Amino acid sequence: MPRAWAPTDRRSPRVAAVRAPSPDGVSRPVSAGVVSALVGFTSAFVVVLSGLAGVGASPDQAASGLLAVSVTMGLACVLLAVWTRMPITAAWSTPGAALLASTGAVEGGWPAAVGAFLVTGALVVLTGLVPQLGALITRIPASVAQAMLAGVLFQLCLGPVTGLAENPLAVAPVVAVWLLALRLMPRWAAPLAFLAAAVVIGVHVVTSGATIDRADLVPRVELTAPVFTVAAVVGIALPLYLVTMAAQNVPGVAVMKGLGYEVPWRRSMLVTGVGTVLGAPAGGHAINLAAISAALAAGPEAGEDRSRRWIASVTAGSVLVLLGIASSAVGSLVLLAPAGVVAAVAGLALLGTLAASLQAALARDDERIPAVVTFATAASGIAVAGVSAAFWALVAGLVARAVLRAGRETAVRPAPTRDTQGQQKARPGDLHR
């Protein structure tokens, strides 16, 4: 018979189940969740506003979109954490927002962009239901996918440079704070840059006599009836889906795996896909699995007890919902910014992502030319037949890669050789089989 657990046995799971958690066992996940939410929101919300405005959203519609993605990703954090008991966090698609900022308005305007957001959400849901679709995404060469992302980010990352030339007195303090924070507190570099920008905006408001209407501080939702056009589906929905999957969802799973968690793929795609669909009419572009903020909520900062780290994700989600409710006030603050400040903050927030994308795109010698072709096409910002440069960049990179690899002779494995004792030697590549 199995040994009965004694009430005094400290190893007993029953005793552990009823034992009250220590204050540290709760406070550390909670504090990690708060940090994760604050870093995730403040480091990139300007990019989201810029992206939505780039595809035709008015200031009110952009503020509504920021509210929508903040609330939906917050609720997704809570749902996934409670459902899986894992510290899974969701985030808005920052690369996707950067893509929108470089895309420009398409045929059909803002309603067509909203229709593209709905299509993107439906594709994410389909990815969760059809495993083969997710496998197809992973077959896109990493060099081409990362080069497309780098090309999309390039124009936005020029913001600090152009801002310094346009308005040095307002932009220089923001850049200086970012650079100093990057040296001393890298994780907080982008949030502190935004804080410096807020101070600059505050000084500008006081000195210029500008005022804020109290009605603009009230959270509001601007619903838009979607319009579906071929140009928006091909030029926005497909690139947005690809960059969200390749630059957010796949790395997000990898980050969590590195921390010892196996993310349930289907449930994650269904939750984030449905969240994207629900947020689209209010202007939300896309939500996905988090990568950087995932490490904050699922890493050692969330406490030694791994079984309680899911509390960090619940906390992060709750804080994100509250930040989303305040998004109208944040949007109003951005509208009062001096020339060049908003673009500079957005560019500084994306410089790290640009560097990582370029490194990944150019890592392999035999992939560099297709990667450069992809990057140059995406960075050009041209639209052909109403379709954005991001789509044509992907096409150009894949075509260049196929042509350069066509007819390449397959390396013939050398015949096994034997050493002086008659033992078969290892052949090149055997250790990688």
Cβ-contact 353, 68 below 8 angstroms:
no
Helix 341-361 with 189-208: angle, nearest 10 deg: 160
Cα separation, 335 vs 51, in Å, equals: 14
Residue 169 maps to a domain: yes
| Per-residue pLDDT at 426 exceeds 50 | no
Rounded to whole angstroms, how far apart are CA atoms 1 and 152? Answer: 65
Number of structural domains in the chain:
1
| Arithmetic mean of pLDDT, 176-201 | 89
- Identify whether 392 is part of a domain: no
Q: Is 65 a domain residue?
A: yes
Both tokens of residue 205?
Answer: 């408001």
Task: Let me know if residue 401 belongs to a domain.
Answer: no
pLDDT tens digits along 341-383: 888 888 888 888 888 889 988 998 888 999 999 999 988 877 7
Residue 341 domain boundaries: 27-364
Domain annotation covers residue 184: yes
Residue 353 is predicted with a pLDDT of 81
Give domain status of residue 13, yes or no. no
In a domain, 369, yes or no: no
Confidence of residue 22 (pLDDT cuts 50, 70, 90): low
Question: Cα–chain-centroid distance for residue 418?
Answer: 52
- Tokens coding 93: 């698609």
Backbone angles phi, psi at 218, to 5 degrees: -80, 130
Q: How many CB atoms lie within 10 A of CB 326?
A: 15
Cα dist from 357 to 44, 225, 307, whole Å: 17, 35, 33
The answer to whether the CB of 111 falls within 8 A of the CB of 390 is no
Query: Exposed/middle/buried for 90, CB within 10 Å: 0-12, 13-18, 19+?
Result: buried
Tell me if residue 117 falls in helix, strand or coil: helix
- What's the pLDDT band for 296 if we cut at 50, 70, 90? confident
85 found inside a domain:
yes
Global pTM? 0.76
